[in-house]
Amino acid sequence: MATNRRSFLKNIALGSGALGAVPLIAQSCSHENSQLAHIKTQAERNPVMNFNMCGYAAPKLNTVRIGFVGIGDRGSGAVKRMTFIDGVEITAICDTRQGALDGAQKILSDAGLPKAKEFTGSDTTFKALCNSGLVDLVYIATPWEWHVQVGLAAMEGGVHTAIEVSTAKTMDECWDIVETSERTKKHCVILENCCYDFFELLTLNMARQGAFGDLIHGEGAYIHNLDYWHFNKPKDEKMSDGAYTKMWRLHENRRKANVYPTHGLGPICQSMDINRGDKMDYLTSMMSADFTLKQRIEEKAREDPFFEQFVGWDMRGNMDMQMIKTNKGKTILIQHDISSPRPYSRIHMLSGTKAFAQKWPLKHIAFGHKKLNDDEMKELQEKYEPEIIKRVGAMAKNVGGHGGMDFMMDWRLIDSLRNGLAMDMDVYDAAAWSCITPLSEWSIANNSNSIEIPDFTRGAWKTNKPVNLTLDGGGTTGVRNISEANSNGQLTVE
């Protein structure tokens, strides 16, 4: 074998001139085709389930010790929100930037809480945190490329993990988190805050109570002009002091795919009982040309030489959309646009045999052709307002974070861990919602041909139970220092 390898390397060296003559674009196309083929291969995988994590209730934790990895905009906001939740100890923080750690320590100090142990020094220092024995939960808010690497290290280290969106970038990563969660019996929760927005929770409870009849169609989106965040120039030479370290968000949007599908998709999947009574079967995807991003890069480069390094980049198109068919015949439309000059929208629309609801651009609910008036809406909200909003909705609005949905998400996560409850959003949701990125990439590259969506539950969706809004006997976790909380610290919508 060693001789063959040496001969192979020798032949490569002798033929380097011929290899060098191959056009760069041909080599690039070959690599891209190989990547696309791998997406389809991984989408067709069907490994044996090790353990069903849907509905799994891990042993109760009286106190949840949290380690944060990634203390940027999202991470620092999460640290602050967790200081208001009883039963939480923030024991560890990790970032490559000392300034970020200093900021987190100040949040703890201002809340009257002890300092957390710091982990820093390199991109992989998070491994020491995951194996430190100091944490029960690792909360991940890093750039996307590190999400799964940190999550796997956490589960292998024997602790639960919660990962910001989008959780995974590739089909391999989707399967990795599923198989690792099943093997270790550690939760891998997708931190999809939009599932805890007040209107989304209202319509979810309506769906649970049969108010929509049979759901027929749903639409969701992430339409948000991110021009400021894409071009927020770092202030230091290491490119670490900016909205996105090393301009990583701009880099991610070179990929011709829906790189951020879960804000729109997650709430629709919950209402349609995806992975818990139904499943997504296949999708087809389409993307417009790029009419703005490349032009904006050129404009910024004329203003500032810093941006010249990005001139010539082949950027994603403005709008991409995915049409999804479920096993029970329902349809879902997801849209994603981060570069068109238009108002923010997540759409969130549900259409059933009895009722219709839509939040963006105008919030309304209708039974038949007639929209409910203000009095009728108030009556409907009183009837279908879910228990979680009744218990912590006011507190969530007071603490803040996207109008309160961030706090509600964090509170529910902690309350479930402390009461030994199953997760609202488990590893199968994390994988199913995130895999839209690579599958959309494949479909877009193949003239919008359809591609099957893997069944990460491997058939368990037929018997898995829907998300329960009654708190399952939980709701015992309180909040502290609530008088100090206010909505002034709400984060910018991401």
User: Does residue 482 sit in helix, strand or coil?
Assistant: helix
Phi, psi torsion values for 372, nearest 5 degrees: -70, 140
Phi, psi torsion values for 236, nearest 5 degrees: -115, 165
> What is the rounded distance in angstroms from the CA atom of residue 340 to the CA atom of residue 291?
8
User: Does residue 133 sit in helix, strand or coil?
Assistant: coil
Phi, psi torsion values for 286, nearest 5 degrees: -145, 145
pLDDT of 466 > 80? The answer is yes
Q: Which of 416, 409, 355, 346 is nearest to 380 (CA)?
A: 355
Residue where the block lists tokens 């905009």: 73
Q: Which of 357, 206, 327 is nearest to 270 (CA)?
A: 206
* Average pLDDT of the segment spanning 163-180: 98
* Average pLDDT of the segment spanning 268-294: 98
Q: Residue 235: its pLDDT value, please? A: 82
**pTM of the predicted structure, to 2 decimals:** 0.91
Q: Which of 452, 449, 458 is nearest to 41 (CA)?
A: 452
**What's the CATH number of domain 194-385+427-465, 3.40.50.720, 3.40.718.10, 3.30.360.10, 3.40.50.80?**
3.30.360.10
Burial class of residue 420 in the structure, from the number of CB atoms within 10 Å of its CB (0-12 exposed, 13-18 middle, 19+ buried): middle
In 128-197, beta strands by DSSP E: 137-140, 160-164, 188-191
Q: 373: pLDDT confidence band, cut at 50, 70 and 90?
A: very high
Question: Which residue would you say has higher pLDDT here, 489 or 349?
Answer: 349
Phi, psi torsion values for 256, nearest 5 degrees: -85, 80
Digit-coded pLDDT (tens) for 84-99? 999 999 999 999 999 9
Question: Which positions ≥6 away from 355 have C-beta within 8 Å?
Answer: 206, 211, 212, 213, 365, 366, 367
pLDDT of 437 > 60? The answer is yes
Q: Residue 227: its pLDDT value, please? A: 96
CB atoms within 10 A of CB 199: 19
Q: 448: pLDDT confidence band, cut at 50, 70 and 90?
A: very high
Q: Residue 491: its pLDDT value, please? A: 26
Domain boundary assignment for the chain:
194-385+427-465
Q: Which of 426, 434, 432 is nearest to 55 (CA)?
A: 426
* Average pLDDT of the segment spanning 293-303: 98
Digit-coded pLDDT (tens) for 383-421? 999 999 999 999 999 998 899 999 999 999 999 999 999
Digit-coded pLDDT (tens) for 109-135? 999 999 999 999 999 999 999 999 999
H/E element holding 321? Answer: strand 319-326
Q: Residue 15: its pLDDT value, please? A: 37
